[in-house]
Structure 1
Amino acid sequence: MTKKRHYLRETIPAGTPNASKEADKAVRRLQNQVDERRQPRTSATVNQLLDRYFLEADLEFSTLDTYRGYAEKHIRPLLGSQKVGSLDAGVMDSLYVELRRCRDHCKRNRGLVDHRTAREHECDGRCLPHECRPLSSSTIRQIHFVLYGALRRAIRWKWVTTNPIAGAEPPAAPKSNPRPPTPEHAARIINEAFKDPDWGALIWLTMVTGQRRGELCAIRWAHNDLDNGVLHLEKAIGQRGKKKWEKDTKAHQDRRITLDPDTVELLRDHKARCATRAAALHAKLKDDAFVFSLAPDGSTHLVPDSVTQRYGNLARRLEIKTTIHKLRHYSATELIAAGVNIRTVAGRLGHGGGGTTTLRAYTAWVSEADQRAAGSLAARMPSRPGASPAVAFTDLDPSSPYERIAVSLRSQILDGEFQVGLPIPSVKQLAAEHGCSVSTVQRAVKLLNDWGLVELNSGRRTLVKHISAAVAPTVTSTAQIAPATAGQSAGQPQPLDLELQLLGKSIAKFRAEADPGSTTDLRQLLVGAIRRRGGDIADIGDYELTVRLAGNVDLMTTFVATK
């Protein structure tokens, strides 16, 4: 660039034994570098390399700001004065060792203090003795990639001929371990959030679509086709400190997501509330208004960091250890558990690579799939000696599609619609009837087999089994709580079909064993059902529990608890 000659230098210290011979060897080494075009063509330092790299790098603002922060805190203090041509894998490995030792790069001097602030202050109990803490593996890997990218540019600029850190070994990528909320926690979060309907709508949409917080903050009403149930995602809100801006989505994708009828209805109600508030203040809700906004006319978007803070406060109130990003994990997990193929899940989440990122980063469903595999293997195992030949009915709160299908088929079998010894419809027929995948129906049939209602035969139709007296539900026609049924003593638990209703509307059905004449038993069942549905026990007076003997359509009683 300057047209000046560039010299390669190597110094042999004075007093070195055989200094003349060592100098001759150094000359030959430098000549070989020139002949093989391996010599650095610049004496620029790492600081100069980073300055030019950040000036020319085409990176998104928040990414570039993060990289600059890594450079200022970790790269420049340790390598800034080093010449680019002198970097090699050994230097980089030494850097990683230092980063794993102490993130503050202390000098190992005793008496160091970790002050609570860098400003002038009077030390108190919050200023503690220094304790070396390593950088995380993911941060060290990002520092490696910053230097790797800068040195790739150096090769293009002909500063060096090879990337000197290509042979360095950064820490291995940490294994993904997403921890989505459990269904019970999700129900509690939703119920708490809907104390503010607008906030509840945002949390609901986050759970249903699995979108990032910035993408949800950027949704405008013009992006919603509520008539066709489609949400259009094309922008996101970026934030770095106090700076906020509208940008493309993380993967620069323009995607559309289908919404279920409940979510469409929720958005319609939310829009009606927004329009009513705007009209009350003599404003108008425009088509390009933000869906989630604190402004009456929807002219401004929510701040992503504020959304995170509010959700964190909600989780702390409920004593649930989670973050808003884990709702994204929750959505992916529930979709996979419901039998949705991985490419569809990846498309909804905005992942590229045909689902590779989804499988690598969102693996919370592996345990669920493992349970299915274990169940499939157990079904093919021979019976254990002395094991009970029958499988008792289990308590069930049918929330998954395959469970609802199994409950429906169970009712048809118990009602005699499918005769003993005859086959039930094929899985393809049942899948078409219920509008689901074949794998979902197969899981439902497997559940019927576990209950002892059907017989699975490889290569043949699934047959309805004869239900033994030990397994069959007691069928007794009665409209009141009887002190005892035939063959049972008073107070003995009986299999019951129970239905939970909220203000007269059925919200759950399940089976359990209890004494139908015991108010204590029925109250425990009612409280447990309310909690499983995420309800508030303080509202127990709004719920009622209808009680029937298992397999009998006649109502025994309706239990209502006092507060």
Structure 2
Amino acid sequence: MTGRSKGRRRQRGAIDQLPNGALRVRVSAGLDPVTKQRHRLVEVVPPGPAAELEAERVRTRLLNEVDERRNPRTQATVEQLLERYLEQHFDGQPSTKANYRRYARLHVLPFIGQVKVGQLDADALDSLYAELRRCRAHCSGRGKRTDHRTAGRHECDHRCRRHECRPLGATTIRHVHFLLSGAFKRAVRWKWVASSPVSQAEPPAAPPPRPSPPTAEEAVRILNEAWRRDEDWGALVWTVMTTGIRRGELCAVRWQHVDLESGVLRLEQAVAYDDELGEWFVKDTKTHQQRRIALDSETTAVLSALKARQERRAAELGCHSGPDAFVFSPHSDGGRFAKPDSVTQRYDRMVRRLEVVTTLHKLRHYSATELISAGVDPRTVAGRLGHGGGGVTTLRVYSAWVSEADQRASRALFERVPERPEGPQAAEERAKTAPENPYERIASEIRARIVRGELVESAAIPSLKKLMAEYGVASATASRAVSLLKTWGLVETTGSGQPNTVAVGAREFLAAEDEESNEVPQDSPEKSPHTGELPTGPGATSAEEAPRMLRFELRYLGETVRTFTAEADPDNPDHLKRLLAAAVRRDGRTDAELLDYELDVRGSDGELITTFVKMAV
């Protein structure tokens, strides 16, 4: 009996000849887990004398990859991978997910979105990062292009400018790298690819931190402007400056989180924006940790006054402001939080008016640098600011409780923060010296003409028509200017249809008003900015020394920055030293900068008596 001949085993893979002479190698790799279709590895060998031999080598290599499970298991693209990763498996904050979606839409999908995950390599990623560093708008680099102010239909104006290539920031490129890294880690886990190409690519190095807090002089100007506008707004800026909390944490603070008796602020939540829902919501803090911050006595007083104002306004409107009310709410009952973007925009407008280049976030830098300059332990500073990733468990625990070091930090910062400004000035009083609106400027100029004697008592002031023509304003603006002059008591109307005239005694009234505003309390230059204590010791002024009224000119590096009058003894160096130190502090500087200042001492007739310079601090 003859045995049956053993059949030949079917060869795995196939090599097809294409019309142009090239050879196409096909190897089956099972089912695609994404499309559920048969997955084939395909590679084309160009025509040539050694094409057949090369095709066999390619077939063998692909078969080995399949046998060793090193081959890509799917034809899915990078776009499909990112969509599945962000939609189903990303467990970060909604704001982080929204940022990642925006990065993918703007900077990833236009370049590698349709590339198969198994074909992406480190070279392609390095090319992507190089393109992002070239131009953030991904222009072609050829021809002229205009950056329009809006994508909708519009008429171009000065805001539509010629395009200039600007690189994408290193931090944003690193975020793109982190997005791809997280997605490809999932792809490796799902066995879509054998290894992640992102691990072999090199994103740009993280930029070194460069905190740029406002200077002491700028901090004084910012606080004064905030308080001048609105006491509630001044309280917000003051709180950020003394505590260094994030804007989202600031907007989420409720009165139940503030212990005014103990001087403690608890930070348990923050306000963030959800791009998918298009609304703001309350979540936990950025580091997912609660912490407590000690408040200095002045900040406690600021918050107490703020609470009293809110309760008074709520009572006037017949609503209730309870412990769950938001501290910095724009609403009378405190029922809704302030939007962080609105707070930032208001702060930006304010510092832009002051011509100070800074941001709200830099107040955190101000708080941190002032604490460190005062010698506070960096761990305590990290605890107050809520910095995570300290690497030590005790640091994370320490940041949640008020400790003795935190109390010292609170007192140290209070000693370096500028004086708390006075309340906001009434609009009609501010317009006399700092007019802002057109009608205020008109009234201020007419007031100046009365002071100079150009307009005498009972003389008619320019009519509304003349004011409209001279200043190029509307009738309503001119009328408001005249009404403001009447409020000041400088203009009166003698009868119906009669012109407006300068009030009797207006010039004498202005002279007395200016004299009153120029008066300087005798003890004001010598008082401590926070304690209000008068100096004591050998150099203290006594009745026997017979001080006299003097005129002083403060110069910083040779440039005059302030003039004032005070009662002092020009031959007493202690008097002059205290006056110099007080004037420097009012200028927003510290005692360490005394060497850069000099004080000219003049008599009542303006004659120079001496120039006082501090030789050592």
Larger CA Rg, structure 1 vs 2? 2
Once the two structures are superposed, the pairs formed by residues 88-487 of structure 1 within 5 Å of their partners are 88-195=121-228, 196-239=230-273, 243-354=279-390
Separation in 2 of the partners of 1:504 and 1:169? 56
Separation in 1 of the partners of 2:160 and 2:380? 51
Equivalent in the alignment of 1:6:
39
Is the alpha carbon distance of 1:499 and 1:248 closer, same or farther for their aligned partners in structure 2, counting shifts above 3 Å? same
Question: 2:221 is paired with a residue of what secondary structure?
Answer: helix
Question: 2:273 is paired with a residue of what secondary structure?
Answer: strand
1:78 aligns with 2:105: no
Shift of residue 523, structure 1, vs aligned partner: 2.2
Equivalent in the alignment of 1:36:
68
Equivalent residue letter for 1:34: V
Unaligned runs of 5+ in 1: 357-397, 403-497
Once the two structures are superposed, the pairs formed by residues 36-75 of structure 1 within 5 Å of their partners are 36-56=68-88, 57-75=90-108
Separation in 1 of the partners of 2:313 and 2:604? 39
For normalisation by structure 1, the TM-score amounts to 0.66
Question: 1:139 is paired with a residue of what secondary structure?
Answer: helix
Equivalent in the alignment of 1:415:
none
Whether the aligned pair in 1 keeps the contact of 2:547 and 2:567 (CA below 8 Å) is no
Is the alpha carbon distance of 1:116 and 1:296 closer, same or farther for their aligned partners in structure 2, counting shifts above 3 Å? closer
Equivalent in the alignment of 2:50:
18
Question: 2:60 is paired with a residue of what secondary structure?
Answer: helix
Separation in 1 of the partners of 2:574 and 2:189? 77
Separation in 2 of the partners of 1:561 and 1:310? 45
Whether the aligned pair in 2 keeps the contact of 1:500 and 1:546 (CA below 8 Å) is no
Equivalent residue letter for 2:151: A
Whether the aligned pair in 1 keeps the contact of 2:256 and 2:323 (CA below 8 Å) is yes
* Aligned pairs, number: 412
Question: 2:139 is paired with a residue of what secondary structure?
Answer: coil
Is the alpha carbon distance of 1:115 and 1:508 closer, same or farther for their aligned partners in structure 2, counting shifts above 3 Å? farther
Is the alpha carbon distance of 1:17 and 1:349 closer, same or farther for their aligned partners in structure 2, counting shifts above 3 Å? farther
Whether the aligned pair in 1 keeps the contact of 2:314 and 2:320 (CA below 8 Å) is yes
Percent identity over the alignment is: 51
Whether the aligned pair in 2 keeps the contact of 1:236 and 1:246 (CA below 8 Å) is yes
Equivalent residue letter for 1:351: H
Shift of residue 333, structure 1, vs aligned partner: 0.4
Equivalent in the alignment of 2:572:
549
Is the alpha carbon distance of 1:549 and 1:174 closer, same or farther for their aligned partners in structure 2, counting shifts above 3 Å? same
Shift of residue 28, structure 1, vs aligned partner: 2.0
Is the alpha carbon distance of 1:158 and 1:112 closer, same or farther for their aligned partners in structure 2, counting shifts above 3 Å? same
Whether the aligned pair in 2 keeps the contact of 1:155 and 1:161 (CA below 8 Å) is yes
Give CA deviations for 1:192-211 in whole Å, capped at 9, x if unaligned.
21122111111111011100
Moved more, 196-205 or 95-104: 95-104
Separation in 2 of the partners of 1:69 and 1:142? 11
Shift of residue 561, structure 1, vs aligned partner: 10
Whether the aligned pair in 1 keeps the contact of 2:263 and 2:300 (CA below 8 Å) is yes
Shift of residue 104, structure 1, vs aligned partner: 2.2
Equivalent in the alignment of 1:499:
526
Shift of residue 254, structure 1, vs aligned partner: 0.9
Equivalent residue letter for 1:173: A
Is the alpha carbon distance of 1:4 and 1:503 closer, same or farther for their aligned partners in structure 2, counting shifts above 3 Å? closer
Shift of residue 126, structure 1, vs aligned partner: 4.2
Separation in 2 of the partners of 1:148 and 1:68? 14
Separation in 2 of the partners of 1:137 and 1:10? 37
Give CA deviations for 1:244-273 in whole Å, capped at 9, x if unaligned.
111111111111111111211221111111
Is the alpha carbon distance of 1:18 and 1:502 closer, same or farther for their aligned partners in structure 2, counting shifts above 3 Å? closer
Separation in 1 of the partners of 2:332 and 2:569? 45
Separation in 1 of the partners of 2:552 and 2:186? 71
Separation in 2 of the partners of 1:510 and 1:328? 39
Whether the aligned pair in 2 keeps the contact of 1:221 and 1:287 (CA below 8 Å) is yes
Question: 2:292 is paired with a residue of what secondary structure?
Answer: strand
Is the alpha carbon distance of 1:185 and 1:261 closer, same or farther for their aligned partners in structure 2, counting shifts above 3 Å? same
Give CA deviations for 1:432-460 in whole Å, capped at 9, x if unaligned.
xxxxxxxxxxxxxxxxxxxxxxxxxxxxx
State the structure with bigger RCO (CA 8 A, min sep 6), 1 or 2.
1
Question: 2:129 is paired with a residue of what secondary structure?
Answer: helix
Separation in 1 of the partners of 2:538 and 2:73? 79
Separation in 2 of the partners of 1:62 and 1:5? 38
Give CA deviations for 1:312-359 in whole Å, capped at 9, x if unaligned.
122122221100100000000011111111111111111123389xxx
